[in-house]
Amino acid sequence: MKLLLISNILVPLFGAFLMLIVGRKSESTASSLIKIVSFVFGVSVALTLLVWVYRGAEVFSWRGNHVYQNGNYEFPFALHFDLLSAVFLCVSTYMSLLILHYSRYYMHRESGYSRFFAIIMLFMGGLTFLFEAGTLDLLFAGWEVVGISSFLLIAFYKTRATSCKNAYLTYCVYRVCDVGLLLSACLVHFLWNDGQQFSQMSLSPAFIQEHSLPLTLLGAFILLAACGKSAQFPFSFWLSRAMEGPTPSSAIFYGAISVHLGVFILIRMYPFWHSIESIVWCVAGIGLLSAILGTISARSQSSIKGRIAYDSLAQVGLMFVELALGFPKMALLHFIANSGLRCSQLLLSPSVVVATLKKQSSRGIENNRPVRWLGFKISQRLRASLYVLSLKEGYLYAALQELAQVPKHIFGRFLKVLSFNWTRLGILFFGFVAFSYLGSETLADYYVWLAVVGACVALLSALSALYENADALRAWNATGFSLACLTGSLLLTAHNCEKDCLLFWAGVGPAWIVGALILRHLKSKNDQTLMLSNYLGMQDEHPVLAFVFFICFLEVVGFPIGPVFIAEDAYLHHLTDHGVWLVGVFVVAFVVNGVSLARVFSRVFFGTRKLAASIRGATVPRA
């Protein structure tokens, strides 16, 4: 059973890897590779389900060796398989195999054929990992893989500025919601330190009584993560804007599977949040609000994919309500039905022209369709207001755009100062940290304050990277500096975490240096400028550098391909033991760093290459 579960994860990941290497050669090679991978994956999943049912469809839980351990922190590798996993795995496999087969024809002759399938397989691997993960930490790994494959597919047409902008938007929302998941992982460590596996997390009434605050927080963080992934209030705006990639990718991500992951995690953590009444109310409230707002917004969508997006998220909102009311099985059924319907609607979305004309042909044209509310005619004023509310999609996106400007206005000047002096400041700070650290124990009182300063500087530095427009290299370095400050402040607060720091820098260090070198190289090639205000489109000329830089970026932001992922988790764990109040700052800094690096990556490599205004080459004599 455990081998099957692992093979479910590894087959698509290995497929993605092969696709990148072998699939580039020709479409037919890629196509046969897809066939093989789908077959093996399908068989593996089918066997898993069969074995599971044969064994009585009971919860299967397995714990392997821990991947990393330091003190009382450990990162175990554990798998978990129950009805929830089975349903989601089953539906997602069904849909992804359909989409793979569909796209083999649909994507024919498209440039980026193998890239498309590599990303889809990466997505499948991430999903399976997420469904089968035995701990929240591992679930987070799958969650990240899904997020990054989403980002890559929205920006599939990487030369189009709008696609890249919306890919970045989606990535930002995902990152913000990762705050929720990261913090819940911390809380799980905090609450069940010796048994973080889902199967070991026990919940007795006494336990609830004792830990009501952390449990409430846990519920809130899980809800935050779920809202972001499932485009619920107040994040509803991103779903329709994410429909930029090829139609089948939109269908599987935003129609079938990805949008339902919020529901998945809510069911996965169901016992923990459902015992807290306030959270139950929140889930119900957010679900209902999203459902209503989604419905209103859908009414005035004039593009077909936008319409399907809002219709779909309204249904997801209802699933939240069902969960809050205590019917997880009903929500599961609802998920299956909704994913089938939306996936099919999206794939058939080009047919809408014919379908609507046909309807108009057989039923006649209805010209006058004023706004109605539950079938009642309403006053002019209310009608206009409702229409505008619908048109502006509840002002969520507009609010976000305004909000994004706030830090810039508040810290504007401060950030500018900071971004110039990062080296000096860094050296100063590190000198001080080293001095204090090596120094006597008596200075311990100051450590705490120093740590606070360090964390704040890290946060500001991360922000300055986010709003950097003039130079990509500077943004990259500011991020690195920010991470260094975080490490410094951790060393000052927590004991025995040197091993974690080493692990962290074993990943970040090389990646940071390689990334910086690449940016320097590009800068020298581009007349010594690397502006971030526009998309530079370097990918065309430097595909290899783009790929290497992408890997560096992933490593630095703590994507589960290297030690940083685990180290980041360990950092937070140590903080929960020693300085809970710093956790928030750390997490926000991690997230802001992730977002700003994604910005650097997409601005530098995506988009269309514009030649400098000067004309290159020799002049042409008149013919």
Partner 1 sequence: MDLRDVSYVSGLLKKLAKHLPTQGPLQEFVHHNPLHAFQSVPFHQGVFEASVIHGAKGYLSFSEYRSLEKKGVISESEVYAAIQRHAETPEQRSVLKTHMYTLEESVVCEHHQELREAIFADKFESLQAYVHPRLFRLVGNFLDQGISQWAMSDGSETFWNTLRGLIRDSVFPVSFLEPFCREWILQKTSDEVIDLALEKILREQQGSLSEKYLSEMLRSHPGWSGMVSFLEKHPEALLLARKISLADAVALELLLEISFCKKRLNDKNFKFLDSKKFTAYKNALKVTSKIHQRLADENKIKSVWQEAYEWSYFNKAIKLLDNKFRNSASKSIKPTKAQLFFCIDDRECSLRRHIEEIDERLETFGAPGFFGIDWMFKSVGSHLLAKLCPAPVKTRYLVEEVDPSFSAKEPIVSKLQHVATDTSGNSLVRGFFSTQILGLWHGFKLALSIFLPSEKRPPDLYADHVKPIGELKLLRSQEPSKDDLFIKGFSFQEMADRVYSVLNSVGLRDGFSPLVFLIGHGASSVNNPYFSAYNCGACSGRPGAANARAFAQMANDPEVRELVKAKGISIPQTTYFVGGLHDTTRDELVFFHEDKIPASHQESFADIKATLEIALQNNAKERCRRFELVSLDITPPKALKHVRQRSHSIFEPRPELNHATNCLCVIGSRALTKGIFLDRRAFLQSYRSEQDSSGEILSSLLAAAVPVCGGINLEYYFSKTDSEKYGSGSKLSHNVMGLLGVANGVEGDLLTGLPTQMTELHPPLRLLMVIEQEPEILLACMEKNGDLKNWVVNEWVRVACLSPLTKDWYVFEKGEPKKMTLSEELASLQIYSNSLGVIEKQARDIDPVHIQQGCLA
Is residue 315 a contact point for partner 1 (CB under 8 A)? yes
Select the residue interacting with partner 1 from 183, 225, 243, 546 (CB under 8 A): 243
Closest by CA position to 9, among listed 106, 133, 118, 167: 133
Q: Tell me whether residue 197 or residue 338 sits nearer to partner 1 (CB atom).
A: 338
The answer to whether residue 389 forms part of the interface with partner 1 (CB under 8 A) is yes
Segment interacting with partner 1, rule: CB under 8 A, options 38-46, 48-56, 121-129, 338-346 = 338-346
Q: How far is the CB of 520 from partner 1 (least distance, A)?
A: 23
Residue 255 within binding range of partner 1, rule CB under 8 A? no
Q: Which amino acid is at 255?
A: G
Q: Are 232 and 290 in contact (CB under 8 A)?
A: yes
Binding test (CB under 8 A) with partner 1, winner from 347, 450, 466, 587: 347
Q: Which of 43, 353, 434, 444 binds partner 1 (CB under 8 A)?
A: 353
Which residues inside 203-242 make contact with partner 1, applying CB under 8 A?
Answer: 240-241
Between 233 and 429, whose beta carbon lies closer to partner 1? Answer: 233
**Long-range contacts made by residues 437-444, C-beta under 8 angstroms, separation at least 24?**
437/491, 437/492
CB of 375 to partner 1, least distance (A): 11
Q: Residue 509, interface with partner 1 (CB under 8 A)? A: no
- Is 599 a residue that touches partner 1 (CB under 8 A)? no
Nearest to 147 by CA among 108, 182, 196: 182
Residues in Cβ contact with 340 at an 8 Å cutoff, skipping those fewer than 6 apart:
256
Q: In angstroms, what is the minimal distance from the CB of 324 to partner 1?
A: 15
State yes or no: residue 413 binds partner 1 (CB under 8 A).
no
Please list every residue from 527 through 586 that binds partner 1, using CB under 8 A. Answer: 533-534
Residue 465 CB, nearest approach to partner 1 (Å): 18
| 255 Cβ contact partners less than 8 Å away, ≥ 6 residues apart | 308, 312, 339, 342, 343, 345, 346, 347
Report the C-alpha gap between 489 and 453 in whole angstroms: 8
Task: State how far the alpha carbon of 409 is from the alpha carbons of 405, 416, 455, 457, 459, in Å.
Answer: 6, 11, 21, 18, 16
Residues 5-44 that bind partner 1 (CB under 8 A): none
Question: Of 80, 175, 229, 299, which lies in the binding site for partner 1, with binding defined by CB under 8 A?
Answer: 299
Q: What are phi and psi of 252, to 5 degrees?
A: -80, -35
Amino acid sitting at position 201:
M
Q: Indicate the residue among 347 and 418 with the shorter CB distance to partner 1.
A: 347
User: Shortest approach of partner 1 to residue 376 CB, angstroms?
Assistant: 14
Which of residues 74 and 110 has its CB atom nearest to partner 1 in the complex?
A: 110
Binding mask 148-187 for partner 1 (x = CB under 8 A): --------xx--xxxx-xx---------------------
Q: Assess 409 for contact with partner 1 (CB under 8 A).
A: yes
Question: Residues near 80 by Cβ (< 8 Å), separated by ≥ 6?
Answer: 59, 60, 61, 62, 132, 133, 134, 197, 198, 199
We find the least distance from the C-beta atom of residue 497 to partner 1, in angstroms, to be 42
Stretch that binds partner 1, among 55-63, 76-84, 291-299, 558-566 (CB under 8 A): 291-299
Other CB atoms within a 10 A radius of the CB of residue 355 amount to: 12
Whole-angstrom Cα distance, residue 402 to residue 397?
9
- The residue range among 11-19, 121-129, 216-224, 351-359 that interacts with partner 1, by the rule CB under 8 A, is 351-359
Tokens found for residue 28: 């037919």
Cβ–Cβ < 8 Å for 73, 570 = yes
Rounded distance between C-alpha atoms, residue 212 and residue 589, angstroms? 27
Binding to partner 1 in span 423-482, by CB under 8 A? 469
Stretch that binds partner 1, among 313-321, 504-512, 547-555, 580-588 (CB under 8 A): 313-321
Separation in Å, CA 555 to CA 3, 521, 564: 28, 20, 7
Contact pick of 265, 298, 455, 508 for partner 1 (by CB under 8 A): 298
Among 362, 440, 442, 528, binds partner 1 (CB under 8 A): 362
Closest to partner 1 by CB, 149 vs 345, is 345
Stretch that binds partner 1, among 132-140, 271-279, 341-349, 581-589 (CB under 8 A): 341-349
Q: Which is nearer to partner 1, 351 or 524 (CB)?
A: 351
Q: What is the 3-state secondary structure (H, E, C) of 425-485?
A: HHHHHHHHHHHHHHCCHHHHHHHHHHHHHHHHHHHHHHHHHHCCCCEHHHHHHHHHHHHHH
**Residue in 206, 403, 406, 611 binding partner 1, rule: CB under 8 A:** 611
Q: How far apart, in whole angstroms, are the C-alpha atoms of residue 88 and residue 80? A: 13
| Residues in 109-148 that interact with partner 1 by CB under 8 A | 109-110
Stretch that binds partner 1, among 41-49, 203-211, 287-295, 490-498 (CB under 8 A): 287-295
CB of 410: closest distance to partner 1 in angstroms? 12
Q: Is 258 or 349 the residue whose CB approaches partner 1 more closely?
A: 349
CB of 463 to partner 1, least distance (A): 18
Give the integer Cα–Cα distance in Å for 505 and 483: 9
**Using the rule CB under 8 A, which residue among 8, 38, 339, 576 binds partner 1?**
339
Minimum Å gap between C-beta 573 and partner 1 is 40
Q: For residue 376, give the 3-state DSSP assignment.
A: strand
CA 84 to CA 97: how far, in whole Å? 20
Token reading at 320? 């939240």
CB of 234 to partner 1, least distance (A): 16
Q: Least distance from C-beta 250 to partner 1, angstroms?
A: 8
Residue 63: strand, helix, or coil: strand
Nearest-angstrom CA–CA distance, 216 and 328: 20
Comparing CB distances to partner 1, the nearer of 80 and 599 is: 599
Give the residue carrying structure tokens 């609000």. 289
Residues 84-113 that bind partner 1 (CB under 8 A): 94-95, 98, 101-103, 105-110
Whether the Cβ atoms of residue 125 and residue 10 lie closer than 8 Å to each other: yes
From candidates 83, 280, 371, 588, binder to partner 1 by CB under 8 A: 371
**Residue of 380, 440, 442, 528 that binds partner 1 (CB under 8 A):** 380
* CB proximity list for 404: less than 8 A, separation 6 or greater: none
Q: Which of 562/607 has CB closer to partner 1? A: 607
